[in-house]
Copies of this chain bind each other. A is one copy, B any other.
């Protein structure tokens, strides 16, 4: 298995690990997404905001901004698009996933 294939499997596994917590393994709830971000993307929220209250608002913005089918939950494709925004942010590209996409 190539590194790319392994990486894709890891992304899928991480998604499933958190998505299944509420019994629906196909989508991430806001709470599951926040738990995932805090554990798997340590420091990401801190980069987006300093105070705790603001972090929660940022996560809500993230989920709403990327929740294309607007069901308040994030499916795997929306999750990967979110990760893409995070990678681009880490590499200094906009739009930053911390701002709601206009």
**A residues apposed to B, CB below 8 Å:** 2-12, 14, 39-42, 76-77, 80-81, 83-84, 86-88, 90-91
Choice from B5, B41, B81, B84 contacting A5 with Cβ under 8 Å: B41
Q: Which B residues are CB-close (under 8 A) to A84?
A: 76-77, 80-81
Q: Decide if B7 touches A7 in the complex (CB within 8 Å).
A: yes
Least CB distance from A46 to B in Å reads 14
Q: Decide if B87 touches A8 in the complex (CB within 8 Å).
A: yes
Least CB distance from A52 to B in Å reads 21
- Apart from the given pairs A3-B14, A3-B40, A11-B87, 19 other A-B contacts in the complex at a CB distance below 8 Å: A2-B40, A2-B41, A2-B42, A4-B11, A4-B41, A5-B40, A5-B41, A7-B7, A7-B11, A8-B11, A8-B83, A8-B86, A9-B87, A12-B91, A76-B84, A80-B81, A80-B84, A80-B87, A81-B81
